């Protein structure tokens, strides 16, 4: 096919292209991971709690564990006086030992192993409430008198006592597969007595950045040079999607160098190439990929930014994205195509959360391509207003700064007016 006829070929519709990606994306297997290393990974198993949390009834306050009936009607004027039978501290519970077997045992004793009537146990926050106690009086409501405590008011049964299993019941499903592990999930795993957990293997991503013109941040500017942003944004986007960056290659625009860099990047579950995928004379990526055995699934999607985006597959199950080099196009196409694939591989819901918003201004677009407009989201009387961050050129990387979502304007639209509805795909971490 000549370049001209290829360029005239119809573009793949955005939603269809995204479905085509997932259809060809494999789900990876799982690995056992110590929970200290599981942050950012996706759970591949159901986590069931083996024991109640808290394990035993315990105190929510520093104070005295009592029988509520013993202090009924107590007031500052007529305090209830209770004998202090011992102390329960965090990690050192006070146990009453039933008579006669444990007569004289440390910690006190009682005929039925429970807090005796007319007694109290000094208790600290989190310490186990002794059997028989049914309420805790905060220390502020008491006065200590030698071996006794005066209780200056009453509290109802259950006051300031956290019940065993109140947080997690034994046998309860705490976490479901497909859930990404954040700080709270790590805590829940620890509570569920899990030192190790089965997680989806992190997808390995090989990245190749193409372009003769690109220079690194530390290099002095020279005529014709462009600072390479994608070497930083793309690995960061991959890591944010739970992937492991297996390689990062840089290729000048020569067929041999492009092929070498791509060959290395293809040694991965997912290959992401930036630049060189358009129709220019120096866009060498598609032909190099064909030579390297990558089967093209689609090239060119009806979306702005990102029209030249390429997707292909390798016989061994690897998937390959060719993203346009413009920094916004690279980020947006990663988010639209590569991120869902990475999530899917890990068994996670691949699609971003979408909010219904109204557009914040008038905006004209070309018919025939959907447009992903970088927006921040303002709340106004219970509605979200999607406001473009700034000028939307695919080279204006600062339009990604402060963006909370991509407002997806449908292909057939030629304009949207302020106040008209629009679906906004949230960027990772937005409104979290």
User: Closer CB to Mg ion, residue 160 or residue 394?
Assistant: 394
Q: Are 273 and 323 in contact (CB under 8 A)?
A: yes
Examine residue 228 and tell whether it contacts ligand AMP (CB under 6 A): yes
The span from the CA of 383 to the CA of 330, in Å, is 30
Candidates 32-40, 146-154, 163-171, 276-284; binding stretch for ligand AMP (CB under 6 A): 276-284
Q: Are 384 and 367 in contact (CB under 8 A)?
A: no
Examine residue 226 and tell whether it contacts ligand AMP (CB under 6 A): yes
Q: Which does 57 bind (CB under 5 to 8 A by kind): ligand AMP, Mg ion, none?
A: none
Per-residue contact string for residues 308-337; x = within reach of ligand AMP by CB under 6 A:
----------------xxxx----------
Bridge partners (DSSP) listed for residue 370: 303
Phi, psi (rounded to 5 degrees) for 326: -55, 135
User: Which residues are near Mg ion by CB under 5 A?
Assistant: 211, 275-276, 325
Tell the smallest beta-carbon distance from residue 232 to ligand AMP (Å): 9
Tell the smallest beta-carbon distance from residue 325 to Mg ion (Å): 5
3-state SS assignment for residue 144: strand
Examine residue 278 and tell whether it contacts ligand AMP (CB under 6 A): yes
Tell the smallest beta-carbon distance from residue 329 to Mg ion (Å): 12
Examine residue 51 and tell whether it contacts ligand AMP (CB under 6 A): no
Phi, psi (rounded to 5 degrees) for 17: -60, -40
* Residue among 25, 119, 230, 399 that touches ligand AMP (CB under 6 A): 230
Q: How many residues bind ligand AMP (CB under 6 A)?
A: 19
User: Closer CB to ligand AMP, residue 135 or residue 251?
Assistant: 251
What is the distance, to the nearest Å, from the Cα of residue 98 to the centroid of all Cα atoms in its chain?
Answer: 51
The span from the CA of 274 to the CA of 207, in Å, is 8
Place of tokens 């394990």: 55
User: Closer CB to ligand AMP, residue 43 or residue 294?
Assistant: 294
User: Closer CB to ligand AMP, residue 265 or residue 345?
Assistant: 265
Candidates 31-39, 166-174, 211-219, 375-383; binding stretch for ligand AMP (CB under 6 A): 211-219
Q: Which of 326, 305, 293, 270 is nearest to 409 (CA)?
A: 305
Tell the smallest beta-carbon distance from residue 233 to ligand AMP (Å): 8
* Widest distance between CA atoms in the chain: 99
Rg, the chain, Cα only: 32
Examine residue 392 and tell whether it contacts ligand AMP (CB under 6 A): no
| Token representation of residue 193 | 């007595």
Measure Cα distances from 262 to 195, 210, 267, 315 in Å.
39, 10, 9, 16
The span from the CA of 58 to the CA of 154, in Å, is 19
Examine residue 58 and tell whether it contacts ligand AMP (CB under 6 A): no
Phi, psi (rounded to 5 degrees) for 184: -65, -40
Examine residue 306 and tell whether it contacts ligand AMP (CB under 6 A): no
Residue numbers at the binding site for ligand AMP (CB under 6 A): 209, 211, 213-214, 226, 228-231, 274-276, 278, 280, 283, 324-327
């Amino acid at each position: 096919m000549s370049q001209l006829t290829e360029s005239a070929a119809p573009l793949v519709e955005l939603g269809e292209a995204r479905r085509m990606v997932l259809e060809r994306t494999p789900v990876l297997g799982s690995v056992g991971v110590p929970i200290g290393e599981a942050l950012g990974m996706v759970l591949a198993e159901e986590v069931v709690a083996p024991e109640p949390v808290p394990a035993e009834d315990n105190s929510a306050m520093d104070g005295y564990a009592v029988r509520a009936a013993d202090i009924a009607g107590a007031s500052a004027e007529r305090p209830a006086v209770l004998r202090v039978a011992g102390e329960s501290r965090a990690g050192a519970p006070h146990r009453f030992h039933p008579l006669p077997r444990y007569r004289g045992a440390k910690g006190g004793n009682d005929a039925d192993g429970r807090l005796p009537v007319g007694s109290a146990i000094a208790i600290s926050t989190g310490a186990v409430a002794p059997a028989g106690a049914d309420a805790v009086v905060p220390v502020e409501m008491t006065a200590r008198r030698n071996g006794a405590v005066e209780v200056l008011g009453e509290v109802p049964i259950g006051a300031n006592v956290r019940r065993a299993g109140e947080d997690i019941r034994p046998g309860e499903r705490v976490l479901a597969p497909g859930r990404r592990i954040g700080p709270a999930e790590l805590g829940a795993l620890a509570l569920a007595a899990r030192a190790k957990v089965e997680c989806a293997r992190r997808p390995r991503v090989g990245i190749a950045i193409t372009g003769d013109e690109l220079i690194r941040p530390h290099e002095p500017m020279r005529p014709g040079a462009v600072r390479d942003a994608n070497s930083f944004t793309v690995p960061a986007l991959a890591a944010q999607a739970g992937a492991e960056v297996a390689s990062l290659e840089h290729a000048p625009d020569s067929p041999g160098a492009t092929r070498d860099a791509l060959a290395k990047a293809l040694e991965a579950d997912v290959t992401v190439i930036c630049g060189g995928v358009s129709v220019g004379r120096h866009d060498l990526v598609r032909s190099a990929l064909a030579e390297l055995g990558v089967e093209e699934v689609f090239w060119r999607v009806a979306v702005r930014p990102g029209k030249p985006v390429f997707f292909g597959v390798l016989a061994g199950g690897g998937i390959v994205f060719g993203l346009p080099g413009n920094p916004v196009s690279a980020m947006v196409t990663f988010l639209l195509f590569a991120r869902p694939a990475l999530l899917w591989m890990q068994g996670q819901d691949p699609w971003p959360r979408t909010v219904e918003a109204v557009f914040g201004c008038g905006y004209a677009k070309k018919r025939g391509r959907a447009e992903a407009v970088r927006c921040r989201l303002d709340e106004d009387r219970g509605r979200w207003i999607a406001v473009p961050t700034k000028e939307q050129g695919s080279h204006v990387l600062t339009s990604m700064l402060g963006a909370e979502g991509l407002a997806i304007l449908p292909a057939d639209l030629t304009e949207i007016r302020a106040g008209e509805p629009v679906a906004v795909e949230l960027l990772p971490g937005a409104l979290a």
